[in-house]
A and B are shown apart, each in its own frame.
Chain A
Amino acid sequence: MPDKNGKGRESEQDAQIIELLWAREERGIAMLSERYERRLFWVARSILAEEEAAECVNDTLLAVWNSIPPNRPQYLFAYAAAICRNNAYNRLRWENAQKRKAEVVSLSNELEECIPAGREMQQPGRELERLLADFLRGLPKEKRLLFVRRYWYGDTIEMLAEHFGCSAGRVKSILFRVRRQCRAYLKKEGIWV
Protein backbone atom coordinates (compact mmCIF):
# COMPACT_ATOMS: atom_id res chain seq x y z
CA MET A 1 0.00 0.00 0.00
CA PRO A 2 1.55 3.33 -1.00
CA ASP A 3 2.05 5.90 1.75
CA LYS A 4 1.13 9.56 1.29
CA ASN A 5 4.37 10.20 -0.57
CA GLY A 6 3.80 7.31 -2.95
CA LYS A 7 6.86 5.46 -1.60
CA GLY A 8 5.04 2.15 -1.52
CA ARG A 9 4.06 2.57 -5.14
CA GLU A 10 7.66 3.33 -6.03
CA SER A 11 8.77 0.15 -4.31
CA GLU A 12 6.12 -1.78 -6.17
CA GLN A 13 7.42 -0.44 -9.45
CA ASP A 14 10.95 -1.39 -8.49
CA ALA A 15 9.77 -4.85 -7.51
CA GLN A 16 8.01 -5.19 -10.86
CA ILE A 17 11.19 -4.21 -12.71
CA ILE A 18 13.22 -6.70 -10.72
CA GLU A 19 10.69 -9.44 -11.49
CA LEU A 20 10.89 -8.65 -15.20
CA LEU A 21 14.68 -8.66 -15.13
CA TRP A 22 14.63 -11.89 -13.17
CA ALA A 23 12.42 -13.40 -15.88
CA ARG A 24 14.87 -12.07 -18.54
CA GLU A 25 12.16 -9.84 -20.00
CA GLU A 26 13.75 -6.96 -21.91
CA ARG A 27 10.83 -4.77 -20.93
CA GLY A 28 12.43 -4.70 -17.47
CA ILE A 29 15.51 -2.90 -18.73
CA ALA A 30 13.34 -0.47 -20.69
CA MET A 31 11.37 0.33 -17.54
CA LEU A 32 14.54 0.66 -15.52
CA SER A 33 15.92 3.04 -18.10
CA GLU A 34 12.77 5.11 -18.20
CA ARG A 35 12.55 5.30 -14.42
CA TYR A 36 16.17 5.84 -13.40
CA GLU A 37 18.25 6.77 -16.44
CA ARG A 38 18.24 10.48 -15.66
CA ARG A 39 19.17 9.98 -12.03
CA LEU A 40 21.92 7.55 -12.95
CA PHE A 41 23.19 10.06 -15.45
CA TRP A 42 23.67 12.61 -12.71
CA VAL A 43 25.52 10.08 -10.55
CA ALA A 44 27.95 9.57 -13.44
CA ARG A 45 27.95 13.23 -14.43
CA SER A 46 29.30 14.28 -11.06
CA ILE A 47 32.42 12.28 -11.93
CA LEU A 48 32.67 12.31 -15.73
CA ALA A 49 32.12 14.66 -18.64
CA GLU A 50 28.68 14.63 -20.21
CA GLU A 51 29.31 12.30 -23.12
CA GLU A 52 31.23 9.82 -21.01
CA ALA A 53 28.54 9.94 -18.36
CA ALA A 54 25.93 8.93 -20.92
CA GLU A 55 28.09 5.99 -21.99
CA CYS A 56 28.59 5.08 -18.36
CA VAL A 57 24.81 4.92 -17.84
CA ASN A 58 24.45 2.59 -20.82
CA ASP A 59 27.15 0.36 -19.37
CA THR A 60 25.31 0.43 -16.07
CA LEU A 61 21.99 -0.64 -17.58
CA LEU A 62 23.76 -3.52 -19.30
CA ALA A 63 25.49 -4.48 -16.06
CA VAL A 64 22.16 -4.48 -14.21
CA TRP A 65 20.67 -6.67 -16.93
CA ASN A 66 23.60 -9.06 -16.68
CA SER A 67 23.60 -9.24 -12.91
CA ILE A 68 19.88 -9.71 -12.15
CA PRO A 69 19.72 -12.67 -11.84
CA PRO A 70 21.62 -13.94 -9.91
CA ASN A 71 21.37 -10.85 -7.71
CA ARG A 72 18.02 -9.72 -6.34
CA PRO A 73 18.61 -6.25 -4.84
CA GLN A 74 16.40 -4.90 -2.12
CA TYR A 75 16.89 -1.33 -3.31
CA LEU A 76 16.95 -1.14 -7.07
CA PHE A 77 18.10 2.44 -7.50
CA ALA A 78 20.86 2.10 -4.92
CA TYR A 79 21.97 -1.10 -6.63
CA ALA A 80 22.12 0.50 -10.06
CA ALA A 81 23.63 3.72 -8.71
CA ALA A 82 26.45 1.81 -6.99
CA ILE A 83 27.29 0.06 -10.24
CA CYS A 84 27.11 3.37 -12.09
CA ARG A 85 29.38 5.14 -9.61
CA ASN A 86 31.92 2.32 -9.70
CA ASN A 87 31.84 2.32 -13.51
CA ALA A 88 32.37 6.06 -13.52
CA TYR A 89 35.39 5.88 -11.23
CA ASN A 90 36.78 3.01 -13.27
CA ARG A 91 36.48 5.12 -16.41
CA LEU A 92 38.10 8.03 -14.64
CA ARG A 93 41.10 5.88 -13.71
CA TRP A 94 41.50 4.53 -17.20
CA GLU A 95 40.68 7.58 -19.22
CA ASN A 96 42.10 10.28 -17.12
CA ALA A 97 45.73 9.39 -17.57
CA GLN A 98 46.75 13.01 -17.74
CA LYS A 99 44.55 14.98 -15.40
CA ARG A 100 42.36 14.38 -12.43
CA LYS A 101 38.92 15.84 -12.42
CA ALA A 102 39.05 18.79 -10.08
CA GLU A 103 35.86 17.98 -8.20
CA VAL A 104 37.02 14.42 -7.53
CA VAL A 105 40.35 15.69 -6.27
CA SER A 106 38.48 18.06 -4.01
CA LEU A 107 36.31 15.24 -2.63
CA SER A 108 39.38 13.06 -2.07
CA ASN A 109 41.16 15.84 -0.24
CA GLU A 110 38.20 16.42 2.02
CA LEU A 111 37.89 12.73 2.79
CA GLU A 112 41.53 12.61 3.85
CA GLU A 113 40.26 14.27 7.01
CA CYS A 114 38.17 11.20 7.81
CA ILE A 115 41.24 9.00 7.96
CA PRO A 116 42.79 8.72 11.40
CA ALA A 117 46.49 9.47 11.63
CA GLY A 118 48.74 6.50 12.06
CA ARG A 119 49.75 3.57 10.02
CA GLU A 120 47.75 1.72 7.39
CA MET A 121 44.25 0.53 7.90
CA GLN A 122 44.22 -3.18 8.64
CA GLN A 123 41.10 -4.20 6.73
CA PRO A 124 39.94 -1.61 4.27
CA GLY A 125 36.95 -2.28 2.05
CA ARG A 126 34.01 -4.16 3.53
CA GLU A 127 34.94 -3.38 7.12
CA LEU A 128 35.16 0.30 6.29
CA GLU A 129 31.80 0.18 4.53
CA ARG A 130 30.18 -1.43 7.56
CA LEU A 131 31.67 1.01 10.03
CA LEU A 132 30.81 3.97 7.84
CA ALA A 133 27.21 2.78 7.55
CA ASP A 134 27.00 2.42 11.35
CA PHE A 135 28.46 5.88 11.78
CA LEU A 136 26.06 7.46 9.31
CA ARG A 137 23.00 5.78 10.81
CA GLY A 138 23.94 7.40 14.10
CA LEU A 139 23.87 10.88 12.60
CA PRO A 140 20.85 13.19 12.38
CA LYS A 141 19.18 12.82 9.00
CA GLU A 142 20.28 16.20 7.64
CA LYS A 143 23.93 15.51 8.38
CA ARG A 144 23.70 12.01 6.97
CA LEU A 145 22.11 13.24 3.75
CA LEU A 146 24.70 15.98 3.41
CA PHE A 147 27.56 13.52 3.83
CA VAL A 148 26.17 10.95 1.41
CA ARG A 149 25.14 13.52 -1.19
CA ARG A 150 28.58 15.12 -1.05
CA TYR A 151 30.82 12.05 -0.94
CA TRP A 152 28.75 9.34 -2.58
CA TYR A 153 26.77 11.30 -5.16
CA GLY A 154 29.44 13.98 -5.62
CA ASP A 155 27.16 17.02 -5.23
CA THR A 156 28.88 20.38 -5.02
CA ILE A 157 28.73 22.57 -1.93
CA GLU A 158 26.59 25.10 -3.84
CA MET A 159 24.06 22.47 -4.84
CA LEU A 160 23.79 21.22 -1.29
CA ALA A 161 23.34 24.75 0.01
CA GLU A 162 20.52 25.34 -2.44
CA HIS A 163 18.87 22.02 -1.77
CA PHE A 164 19.07 22.22 1.99
CA GLY A 165 18.15 25.90 2.04
CA CYS A 166 21.21 27.15 3.87
CA SER A 167 24.43 28.96 3.12
CA ALA A 168 27.46 27.32 1.55
CA GLY A 169 29.34 28.23 4.70
CA ARG A 170 26.92 26.26 6.82
CA VAL A 171 27.22 23.22 4.53
CA LYS A 172 31.00 23.37 4.73
CA SER A 173 30.85 23.74 8.47
CA ILE A 174 28.54 20.74 8.91
CA LEU A 175 30.64 18.59 6.58
CA PHE A 176 33.79 19.61 8.39
CA ARG A 177 32.33 18.55 11.72
CA VAL A 178 30.98 15.29 10.31
CA ARG A 179 34.39 14.43 8.85
CA ARG A 180 35.99 15.05 12.24
CA GLN A 181 33.33 12.92 13.92
CA CYS A 182 33.90 10.21 11.34
CA ARG A 183 37.63 10.20 11.96
CA ALA A 184 37.10 9.97 15.71
CA TYR A 185 34.59 7.15 15.22
CA LEU A 186 36.90 5.11 13.01
CA LYS A 187 39.76 5.66 15.41
CA LYS A 188 37.62 4.56 18.35
CA GLU A 189 36.64 1.41 16.48
CA GLY A 190 40.33 0.63 16.28
CA ILE A 191 40.58 -0.45 12.69
CA TRP A 192 43.75 1.55 12.31
CA VAL A 193 46.82 0.09 14.03
Chain B
Amino acid sequence: MNGADFLNAINGLDASIIEEAGQEETVRRVRRRRRTKTALAAALLCVCLTAGGGAAAASVLGIELFNFSSGESSSSYDAAFQIEPKPLSAFKGPIVETLREIVPEQFAEYELWNSRMPGVWSRNFWDWESAVEFLGVDFLRAPVTSLEPDGVELYAHAAEDGTLVSASLTGNYRTDDYNIFAAVYIYTEACGEGTTAQVFSATDGGAEYAPEEYVTSGGIYCRIVHTSETENNGAMSEGYFVKDGLMYRITLIERSQDERERRAELLKQLLEEAAGR
Protein backbone atom coordinates (compact mmCIF):
# COMPACT_ATOMS: atom_id res chain seq x y z
CA MET B 1 0.00 0.00 0.00
CA ASN B 2 1.25 3.48 -0.85
CA GLY B 3 -0.01 7.00 -0.16
CA ALA B 4 -2.34 6.98 -3.14
CA ASP B 5 -3.90 3.71 -1.96
CA PHE B 6 -4.29 5.22 1.49
CA LEU B 7 -5.94 8.30 0.02
CA ASN B 8 -8.36 6.04 -1.82
CA ALA B 9 -8.96 3.73 1.13
CA ILE B 10 -10.18 6.49 3.40
CA ASN B 11 -13.08 7.29 1.10
CA GLY B 12 -15.30 5.11 3.23
CA LEU B 13 -14.40 6.95 6.42
CA ASP B 14 -17.19 7.08 9.00
CA ALA B 15 -19.96 9.37 7.73
CA SER B 16 -20.27 11.28 11.00
CA ILE B 17 -16.64 12.39 10.74
CA ILE B 18 -17.04 13.46 7.12
CA GLU B 19 -20.24 15.29 8.00
CA GLU B 20 -18.62 17.09 10.91
CA ALA B 21 -15.81 18.43 8.75
CA GLY B 22 -18.17 19.16 5.90
CA GLN B 23 -20.39 21.35 8.04
CA GLU B 24 -17.65 23.90 8.61
CA GLU B 25 -19.32 26.66 6.67
CA THR B 26 -16.46 29.09 6.46
CA VAL B 27 -14.32 26.67 4.53
CA ARG B 28 -16.35 27.38 1.44
CA ARG B 29 -15.68 31.07 1.60
CA VAL B 30 -11.99 30.66 1.00
CA ARG B 31 -12.32 28.14 -1.78
CA ARG B 32 -11.62 30.52 -4.62
CA ARG B 33 -7.92 30.58 -4.29
CA ARG B 34 -4.94 31.05 -6.48
CA ARG B 35 -3.35 27.92 -7.73
CA THR B 36 0.26 27.06 -7.27
CA LYS B 37 2.98 27.11 -9.86
CA THR B 38 2.44 23.45 -10.36
CA ALA B 39 -0.89 24.15 -11.99
CA LEU B 40 0.25 23.42 -15.49
CA ALA B 41 1.81 20.18 -14.45
CA ALA B 42 -1.61 19.50 -13.03
CA ALA B 43 -3.28 19.69 -16.40
CA LEU B 44 -6.00 17.14 -16.60
CA LEU B 45 -6.86 15.17 -19.62
CA CYS B 46 -9.88 13.22 -20.49
CA VAL B 47 -11.08 11.28 -23.43
CA CYS B 48 -14.71 10.78 -24.15
CA LEU B 49 -16.61 9.35 -27.01
CA THR B 50 -19.59 10.97 -28.59
CA ALA B 51 -21.78 9.44 -31.21
CA GLY B 52 -23.23 11.22 -34.20
CA GLY B 53 -23.48 14.95 -33.62
CA GLY B 54 -20.08 15.44 -32.07
CA ALA B 55 -18.56 14.16 -35.25
CA ALA B 56 -19.18 17.52 -36.86
CA ALA B 57 -16.32 18.92 -34.83
CA ALA B 58 -13.76 16.65 -36.41
CA SER B 59 -12.49 17.78 -39.78
CA VAL B 60 -11.52 15.52 -42.61
CA LEU B 61 -7.94 16.53 -42.01
CA GLY B 62 -8.00 14.79 -38.67
CA ILE B 63 -8.01 16.93 -35.58
CA GLU B 64 -10.34 19.79 -34.80
CA LEU B 65 -9.58 22.15 -31.92
CA PHE B 66 -12.42 24.08 -30.34
CA ASN B 67 -13.96 25.38 -27.11
CA PHE B 68 -10.94 27.40 -26.10
CA SER B 69 -11.75 29.04 -22.80
CA SER B 70 -9.69 30.87 -20.23
CA GLY B 71 -11.11 31.58 -16.80
CA GLU B 72 -9.86 32.67 -13.44
CA SER B 73 -9.84 29.20 -11.96
CA SER B 74 -9.38 26.98 -14.98
CA SER B 75 -8.79 27.03 -18.71
CA SER B 76 -9.34 24.37 -21.29
CA TYR B 77 -9.82 23.38 -24.87
CA ASP B 78 -11.09 20.32 -26.69
CA ALA B 79 -9.64 18.31 -29.52
CA ALA B 80 -11.82 15.95 -31.50
CA PHE B 81 -11.25 13.51 -34.29
CA GLN B 82 -13.28 11.03 -36.23
CA ILE B 83 -12.20 7.61 -35.12
CA GLU B 84 -11.40 4.73 -37.40
CA PRO B 85 -12.35 1.68 -35.36
CA LYS B 86 -9.94 -1.23 -35.38
CA PRO B 87 -11.43 -4.72 -35.65
CA LEU B 88 -11.33 -6.67 -32.41
CA SER B 89 -9.66 -9.50 -34.29
CA ALA B 90 -6.60 -7.25 -34.69
CA PHE B 91 -5.89 -7.59 -30.96
CA LYS B 92 -4.10 -10.88 -30.45
CA GLY B 93 -2.21 -10.25 -27.23
CA PRO B 94 -2.88 -11.15 -23.60
CA ILE B 95 -5.04 -8.03 -23.18
CA VAL B 96 -8.02 -9.87 -24.66
CA GLU B 97 -8.08 -12.62 -22.05
CA THR B 98 -7.05 -10.28 -19.26
CA LEU B 99 -10.02 -7.99 -19.81
CA ARG B 100 -12.42 -10.90 -20.26
CA GLU B 101 -11.30 -12.23 -16.90
CA ILE B 102 -11.07 -9.03 -14.88
CA VAL B 103 -13.75 -6.66 -16.16
CA PRO B 104 -16.88 -8.79 -15.59
CA GLU B 105 -15.64 -9.24 -12.01
CA GLN B 106 -15.20 -5.49 -11.67
CA PHE B 107 -18.81 -4.95 -12.66
CA ALA B 108 -20.08 -7.79 -10.49
CA GLU B 109 -18.26 -6.54 -7.40
CA TYR B 110 -18.80 -2.84 -8.00
CA GLU B 111 -19.60 -0.88 -4.86
CA LEU B 112 -20.79 2.66 -5.28
CA TRP B 113 -18.66 4.15 -2.55
CA ASN B 114 -15.47 2.20 -2.71
CA SER B 115 -14.89 0.62 -6.08
CA ARG B 116 -12.77 1.86 -8.89
CA MET B 117 -14.65 2.59 -12.06
CA PRO B 118 -15.58 -0.76 -13.60
CA GLY B 119 -14.44 -1.37 -17.14
CA VAL B 120 -11.22 0.57 -16.71
CA TRP B 121 -7.95 -1.25 -16.37
CA SER B 122 -4.37 -0.07 -16.52
CA ARG B 123 -0.90 -1.50 -16.50
CA ASN B 124 2.58 -0.02 -16.66
CA PHE B 125 5.27 -1.35 -18.93
CA TRP B 126 8.97 -0.66 -19.12
CA ASP B 127 8.94 0.12 -22.82
CA TRP B 128 6.76 0.42 -25.91
CA GLU B 129 7.67 -2.99 -27.25
CA SER B 130 6.28 -4.75 -24.16
CA ALA B 131 3.13 -2.64 -24.20
CA VAL B 132 2.47 -3.24 -27.91
CA GLU B 133 3.18 -6.94 -27.47
CA PHE B 134 0.60 -7.05 -24.69
CA LEU B 135 -1.97 -5.62 -27.09
CA GLY B 136 -0.81 -8.00 -29.80
CA VAL B 137 -1.35 -5.55 -32.66
CA ASP B 138 0.71 -5.01 -35.78
CA PHE B 139 -0.49 -1.49 -36.60
CA LEU B 140 1.30 0.34 -33.81
CA ARG B 141 4.93 1.40 -33.31
CA ALA B 142 6.56 3.45 -30.59
CA PRO B 143 5.97 7.06 -31.64
CA VAL B 144 9.19 8.29 -30.07
CA THR B 145 12.42 6.31 -30.08
CA SER B 146 14.96 9.11 -29.87
CA LEU B 147 14.28 9.30 -26.14
CA GLU B 148 14.25 6.51 -23.58
CA PRO B 149 10.88 6.31 -21.81
CA ASP B 150 10.64 6.14 -18.03
CA GLY B 151 7.71 3.84 -18.66
CA VAL B 152 4.67 3.28 -20.82
CA GLU B 153 1.21 3.30 -19.32
CA LEU B 154 -1.68 1.40 -20.84
CA TYR B 155 -5.24 2.44 -20.08
CA ALA B 156 -7.90 0.13 -21.42
CA HIS B 157 -11.62 0.74 -21.39
CA ALA B 158 -13.83 -2.31 -21.80
CA ALA B 159 -17.52 -3.13 -22.01
CA GLU B 160 -19.19 -5.10 -19.23
CA ASP B 161 -18.34 -8.44 -20.84
CA GLY B 162 -14.67 -7.46 -21.12
CA THR B 163 -14.70 -6.49 -24.80
CA LEU B 164 -12.05 -3.88 -25.48
CA VAL B 165 -13.60 -0.54 -26.43
CA SER B 166 -10.60 1.76 -26.43
CA ALA B 167 -7.04 1.94 -25.22
CA SER B 168 -4.38 4.55 -24.83
CA LEU B 169 -0.66 4.05 -24.52
CA THR B 170 1.38 6.87 -23.04
CA GLY B 171 5.14 6.98 -22.90
CA ASN B 172 6.63 9.22 -20.21
CA TYR B 173 9.96 10.92 -20.87
CA ARG B 174 12.02 13.39 -18.96
CA THR B 175 14.78 15.68 -20.14
CA ASP B 176 16.61 18.47 -18.35
CA ASP B 177 14.09 20.99 -19.64
CA TYR B 178 10.85 19.10 -20.21
CA ASN B 179 8.46 16.47 -19.06
CA ILE B 180 7.31 14.81 -22.26
CA PHE B 181 4.35 12.53 -22.91
CA ALA B 182 3.72 10.71 -26.15
CA ALA B 183 0.29 9.12 -26.35
CA VAL B 184 -1.55 7.01 -28.88
CA TYR B 185 -5.31 6.54 -28.72
CA ILE B 186 -6.85 3.41 -30.20
CA TYR B 187 -10.53 2.63 -30.66
CA THR B 188 -12.14 -0.66 -31.55
CA GLU B 189 -15.25 -1.63 -33.44
CA ALA B 190 -16.99 -1.88 -30.05
CA CYS B 191 -17.23 1.95 -30.17
CA GLY B 192 -19.59 1.76 -33.09
CA GLU B 193 -19.53 3.62 -36.37
CA GLY B 194 -19.60 7.38 -36.71
CA THR B 195 -18.01 8.02 -33.36
CA THR B 196 -15.91 11.03 -32.56
CA ALA B 197 -13.27 10.85 -29.89
CA GLN B 198 -12.85 13.98 -27.87
CA VAL B 199 -9.81 14.89 -25.84
CA PHE B 200 -10.04 17.57 -23.21
CA SER B 201 -6.99 19.49 -22.06
CA ALA B 202 -7.35 21.67 -18.99
CA THR B 203 -5.12 23.67 -16.72
CA ASP B 204 -5.84 25.31 -13.42
CA GLY B 205 -5.86 29.08 -13.58
CA GLY B 206 -5.89 31.43 -16.53
CA ALA B 207 -4.08 30.50 -19.73
CA GLU B 208 -3.33 31.94 -23.13
CA TYR B 209 -3.58 29.60 -26.06
CA ALA B 210 -1.74 29.92 -29.34
CA PRO B 211 -2.88 27.35 -31.90
CA GLU B 212 -0.63 26.54 -34.81
CA GLU B 213 -0.82 24.27 -37.83
CA TYR B 214 2.07 22.21 -39.03
CA VAL B 215 2.59 19.77 -41.86
CA THR B 216 5.35 17.22 -41.50
CA SER B 217 7.83 16.51 -44.26
CA GLY B 218 5.83 13.34 -44.95
CA GLY B 219 2.63 15.36 -45.44
CA ILE B 220 0.93 14.61 -42.12
CA TYR B 221 -1.22 17.51 -40.95
CA CYS B 222 -0.69 18.36 -37.27
CA ARG B 223 -2.43 20.72 -34.88
CA ILE B 224 -0.35 22.36 -32.18
CA VAL B 225 -1.46 24.33 -29.14
CA HIS B 226 1.00 26.39 -27.11
CA THR B 227 -0.29 27.11 -23.62
CA SER B 228 1.10 29.81 -21.34
CA GLU B 229 -0.20 30.35 -17.86
CA THR B 230 -1.04 34.00 -17.43
CA GLU B 231 0.21 34.30 -13.85
CA ASN B 232 2.43 31.40 -12.93
CA ASN B 233 4.83 31.24 -15.88
CA GLY B 234 3.97 27.62 -16.54
CA ALA B 235 3.98 26.58 -20.16
CA MET B 236 3.41 23.60 -22.36
CA SER B 237 2.87 22.70 -25.97
CA GLU B 238 0.79 19.88 -27.35
CA GLY B 239 0.79 18.47 -30.85
CA TYR B 240 -1.86 16.20 -32.38
CA PHE B 241 -2.18 14.24 -35.56
CA VAL B 242 -4.09 11.28 -36.93
CA LYS B 243 -2.43 8.51 -38.84
CA ASP B 244 -3.87 5.15 -39.84
CA GLY B 245 -6.93 5.80 -37.72
CA LEU B 246 -4.95 6.38 -34.53
CA MET B 247 -4.67 9.71 -32.77
CA TYR B 248 -1.25 10.74 -31.56
CA ARG B 249 -0.68 13.40 -28.96
CA ILE B 250 2.69 14.70 -27.87
CA THR B 251 2.91 16.97 -24.85
CA LEU B 252 5.91 19.01 -23.72
CA ILE B 253 5.73 20.64 -20.31
CA GLU B 254 8.38 23.23 -19.50
CA ARG B 255 10.23 22.57 -16.29
CA SER B 256 11.56 26.10 -15.99
CA GLN B 257 11.10 29.14 -18.26
CA ASP B 258 8.49 29.62 -20.95
CA GLU B 259 10.57 29.49 -24.09
CA ARG B 260 8.03 28.81 -26.76
CA GLU B 261 10.28 28.84 -29.81
CA ARG B 262 12.64 26.29 -28.37
CA ARG B 263 9.73 24.17 -27.17
CA ALA B 264 7.96 24.37 -30.52
CA GLU B 265 11.11 23.31 -32.33
CA LEU B 266 11.48 20.20 -30.21
CA LEU B 267 7.78 19.41 -30.47
CA LYS B 268 7.96 19.54 -34.26
CA GLN B 269 10.99 17.27 -34.24
CA LEU B 270 9.04 14.76 -32.17
CA LEU B 271 5.96 15.09 -34.41
CA GLU B 272 8.15 14.44 -37.45
CA GLU B 273 9.57 11.39 -35.74
CA ALA B 274 6.20 10.03 -34.62
CA ALA B 275 4.43 10.73 -37.91
CA GLY B 276 7.27 9.23 -39.91
CA ARG B 277 7.11 5.86 -38.20
Which residues of A pack against B, CB within 8 Å? 38-39, 42, 45, 48-52, 63, 67, 73-75, 77-79, 81-83, 85-86, 89-99, 101-104, 107-112, 114-115, 120-121, 124-126, 128-129, 132-133, 136-137, 144-145, 148-149, 151-153, 155-156, 158-159, 162-163
Determine the chain A residues whose CB is within 8 A of the CB of B117 once the complex forms: 90-91, 93-94
- When the two chains form the complex, which single residue of B6, B8, B30, B170 contacts A97, counting CB atoms closer than 8 Å? B170
B33 x A99 contact (CB < 8 A): no
Please name 21 pairs of A and B residues whose Cβ atoms are closer than 8 Å in the assembled complex, sorted by A: A48-B44, A74-B16, A77-B18, A77-B19, A77-B22, A78-B19, A90-B116, A93-B122, A95-B45, A95-B46, A99-B42, A99-B45, A102-B39, A103-B38, A108-B2, A124-B1, A136-B13, A148-B17, A152-B11, A153-B27, A163-B27
B233 at the interface (CB under 8 A from A): no
B20 at the interface (CB under 8 A from A): yes
Report the Cα distance A52→B10, complex, angstroms. Answer: 22
How many cross-chain pairs have Cβ atoms below 8 Å apart between A and B?
201
A129 x B10 contact (CB < 8 A): yes
Q: Which of B11, B24, B203 has the most CB of A within 10 A?
A: B11
Determine the chain B residues whose CB is within 8 A of the CB of A96 once the complex forms: 44-46
Closest A-B pairs by Cβ, 10 of them: A95-B46, A108-B3, A102-B38, A78-B15, A112-B3, A90-B117, A49-B202, A148-B21, A133-B14, A78-B18
Q: How far is the CB of A88 from the nearest CB of chain B, in Å?
A: 10
- When the two chains form the complex, which single residue of B4, B23, B33 contacts A156, counting CB atoms closer than 8 Å? B33
Report the Cα distance A109→B7, complex, angstroms. Answer: 10
B64 at the interface (CB under 8 A from A): no
Determine the chain A residues whose CB is within 8 A of the CB of B26 once the complex forms: 163
- When the two chains form the complex, which single residue of A38, A90, A148 contacts B13, counting CB atoms closer than 8 Å? A148
Report the Cα distance A98→B172, complex, angstroms. Answer: 8
B19 x A108 contact (CB < 8 A): no
- When the two chains form the complex, which single residue of A125, A133, A148, A151 contacts B114, counting CB atoms closer than 8 Å? A125
Report the Cα distance A86→B13, complex, angstroms. Answer: 12
Known: A115-B1, A148-B21, A163-B30. A82 touches B15 (CB 8 A): yes
A99 x B43 contact (CB < 8 A): yes
B15 x A86 contact (CB < 8 A): no
Interface of B is mostly: mixed
Report the Cα distance A112→B3, complex, angstroms. Answer: 4
**What sequence of 0s and 1s flags, for each residue 43-80 of chain B, a beta carbon within 8 Å of any chain A beta carbon?**
11111000000000000000000000001011010000
B15 x A102 contact (CB < 8 A): no
- When the two chains form the complex, which single residue of B12, B22, B33 contacts A159, counting CB atoms closer than 8 Å? B33
Known: A102-B38, A111-B6. A97 touches B73 (CB 8 A): no
Report the Cα distance A90→B76, complex, angstroms. Answer: 20
B3 x A73 contact (CB < 8 A): no
**What sequence of 0s and 1s flags, for each residue 174-189 of chain B, a beta carbon within 8 Å of any chain A beta carbon?**
0000000101000000
Q: How far is the CB of B28 from the nearest CB of chain A, in Å?
A: 6
Q: How far is the CB of A168 from the nearest CB of chain B, in Å?
A: 12
B9 x A128 contact (CB < 8 A): yes
